[in-house]
Structure 1
Amino acid sequence: MTHPAQIKIPATYMRGGTSKGVFFRLDDLPEAAQQPGKARDNLLLRVIGSPDPYAKHTDGMGGATSSTSKSVILSKSSKADHDVDYLFGQVSIDKPFVDWSGNCGNLSAAVGPFAISCGLIDSSKLVQNGMAEIRIWQANIEKTIIARVPIVNGEVQETGDFELDGVTFPAAEVPVEFLDPASDKDGQGGSMFPTGNLIDELEVPGIGTIQATMIDAGIPTVFINAEDVNYTGIELQEAINGDPDALMMFERIRAHGALKMGLISELGEAENRQHTPKVAFVAKPQDYIASSGKKVTAGGTDLLVRALSMGKLHHAMMGTAAVAIGTAAAIPGTLVNLAAGGGEPKFVTFGHPSGTLKVGAEATRVNGEWTVKKAIMSRSARILMEGVVRVPGDSF
């Protein structure tokens, strides 16, 4: 029996922040996958190695975690005053679908370096030495991201001494700004709080009624208090991921939050919308030992946050969830703000399973509605491998 040969597709494997994924130029994809649809999804599933009932991604480029089952497609921007269009696909590990409903904040830091390295940025935008400002159009959520990429001798500087908790080795710092990160569906300027409330009473069958701050900034996120679900806020991955009942509880909270936020019209839709919303629990600062062995002190943090992504507790923090944290912390009266001690902080440092992260947001109240101009954080990025990825010719 004759089987189709494998085909080669130019690709780059990159780390951005605490995530990594397979990056493509849109024009390098097979013609059938250059448009949204089944062919593109099937191609990315095969590249990553999903769906994998063994949850190992042995036959693909994925790493069998939400942080490493990612794909990125870039092209020269179709938008005025932007340099590159960035499309993100979160590939499910055990199911045959790609979730296009949100952004990856961590990989956002790798978009500028990749775009420069693969020739997508006009030479007039670049410098011989210094910082290149790359304006990115995030196509999933239709928002602008600005990445400042260090350049040395005309090339992207990837090595450096910037340390990021959740990443083993230091690298060059890439400051990233997420402009106007609150949701603006269909250009109607809707509230970043879909329910209109800073805190809601969220009814979850089998769990009860719990307080929740539901915000759509960076990525839709449901924040709850750790103590309301019998946690302390210092939990590491195994405490949650090793407990099937805990995972089921958080998924139930996430699904009911999604329904109340208007992201889905009935609960069953949540199963095929794993990337959004996120669910996270917050607590006041206390000492703990991070997964790396680093001691995190109560005095060195403003609050503690643990967040789940694609059904598992994240090993550090998703970049987009960090935007939501910074934004919610800046708005008096949210659960995140209260856990951080109240007030109107411009920056907060929060503790997560791998250590700490500092994030800032500029929030203002206009005509009774909270708005956020931008959220700011620093990440790093590095090319891990470049060349071609191979997939069977009939896989898409």
Structure 2
Amino acid sequence: MASNAYPPQLKIPATYMRGGTSKGVFFNLDDLPPPAQVPGDARDRLLLRVIGSPDPYGKHTDGMGGATSSTSKTVIVSRSEKPDHDVDYLFGQVSIDKPFVDWSGNCGNLSAAVGPFAIHAGLVDKTRLPENGTATVRVWQANIGKTLLVHVPMVNGDVQETGDFELDGVTFPAAEIRVDFVAPGEGAMFPTGNVIDQLEVPGVGTLDATLINAGIPTIFINAGSMGFTGTELQPDINGNADTLAMFERVRAVGAVKMGLINEPEEAALRQHTPKIAFVAGPAAYLAASGKPVAGNEVDVLVRALSMGRLHHAMMGTAAVAIAAAACVPGTLVNLAAGREERERVTFGHPSGTLTVGASARNTEQGWRVDTVSMSRSARILMEGVVRVPFE
């Protein structure tokens, strides 16, 4: 029997997009209900309900999320008031099983989709958009206060989405979108001042680690120090609760060492950052698709965890951290990659390989990364309105 005790669902304009190896629900800030147009509980409750979290079943059946760290994502875009920027981009990583949204970092993969979305949404001045060629969308990444330059191909005045660019971890080819992360470090590149630190982790032991702020705060450890080879795929890690708990203990201790939290217990409420990754020298392996990756195709192997699970490919922001660390002599990434001075690195991840360029220099204030560049792709999967129960 119908009852007016339960209000109808809201209809909110939204766009469902893939960016890189992630996908999420994109909103124009002005389209959100007024209470959700400002940071706070109302915004978080709305986005949680859109995604379908918290979900004790871990399926996101009653929402737009995909029940993985790569697909439990939301993006809010608005016209920028920053000089020389087109739009502001705010990223919310929605917890799958807990009632919170983590605003502590960026999503590098979805960064590639922000440019096309901004153009489609009419948020970029049309005088800056070529009829044919490449539009450079100047993005202010509001989570971390950094500039991104998203280079979007245009054909006949529209965003080009289809193409022949292949990205390991994405099934179908699409148009290539280059993303430049400008001065991606946040504060000191190495927060402890060291390129290698020792982490004393209860129940694990003392581990060498490179702690870096570039793209996203990241903890790098040697694969061998934890009994791994660097060729692991998701089932090798995600199917073992004890292994996941071990990585989380290491991540918590590293987060304290980086000054991101005060006590290891606080890491449970900061799932998105820092990331934790393990590295090894080049070796052959079969990617998740069954595609062979030869040892001579890569400089280094990297596996990274996101939201407590091994990522199926590589987070874009972690790729920034990998490239930055590879360029600095003496880091664990640089050592695993052969100790060479370099301005680009090709690394192997569970879905294949990725090449990322970086420009780093040693200054009186310590190491600085000027720019990290990588190619991704993006496309609109669906657009219209999302319906959501919300008061």
Q: Shorter chain as normaliser: what TM range? A: over 0.9
Whole-Å separation in 1 of the counterparts to 2:305 and 2:10 = 36
Cα-Cα RMSD? 0.6
Whole-Å separation in 2 of the counterparts to 1:170 and 1:203 = 44
Whole-Å separation in 2 of the counterparts to 1:368 and 1:148 = 31
Q: Percent identity?
A: 71
Q: Between Structure 1 and Structure 2, how many residues are aligned?
A: 388
The Cα of 1:392 is off from its aligned counterpart by 1.1
Deviations 1:110-129 (A, max 9, x none): 00000000100001110000
Whole-Å separation in 1 of the counterparts to 2:201 and 2:272 = 20
- Correspondence for 2:52: 49
4+ residue runs over 6 A deviation: none
Deviations 1:22-57 (A, max 9, x none): 000000000000000000000000000000000000
Deviations 1:113-148 (A, max 9, x none): 000001000011100000001110000000000010
- Correspondence for 1:188: none
- Correspondence for 1:349: 346
Q: How does 1:1-396 map to 2 (within 5 A)?
A: 1=3, 2-184=5-187, 191-367=188-364, 369-394=366-391
TM-score by length of 1: 0.97
Aligned amino acid, residue 159 of structure 1: T
Whole-Å separation in 2 of the counterparts to 1:228 and 1:392 = 48
Aligned amino acid, residue 273 of structure 1: R
Whole-Å separation in 2 of the counterparts to 1:201 and 1:393 = 47
Whole-Å separation in 1 of the counterparts to 2:243 and 2:128 = 49
Unaligned runs of 5+ in 1: 185-190
Whole-Å separation in 2 of the counterparts to 1:273 and 1:368 = 28
The Cα of 1:269 is off from its aligned counterpart by 1.0
Whole-Å separation in 1 of the counterparts to 2:161 and 2:372 = 23
The Cα of 1:241 is off from its aligned counterpart by 0.2
Aligned amino acid, residue 262 of structure 2: S
Whole-Å separation in 2 of the counterparts to 1:152 and 1:130 = 7
The Cα of 1:383 is off from its aligned counterpart by 0.1
The Cα of 1:382 is off from its aligned counterpart by 0.3
Whole-Å separation in 1 of the counterparts to 2:41 and 2:139 = 26
Aligned amino acid, residue 222 of structure 1: I
SS in structure 2 at match of 1:140: coil
SS in structure 2 at match of 1:86: strand
SS in structure 1 at match of 2:68: coil
Whole-Å separation in 2 of the counterparts to 1:263 and 1:77 = 28
The Cα of 1:393 is off from its aligned counterpart by 3.2
Whole-Å separation in 1 of the counterparts to 2:62 and 2:355 = 37
Unaligned runs of 5+ in 2: none
Whole-Å separation in 2 of the counterparts to 1:340 and 1:78 = 41
SS in structure 2 at match of 1:115: helix
SS in structure 2 at match of 1:370: strand
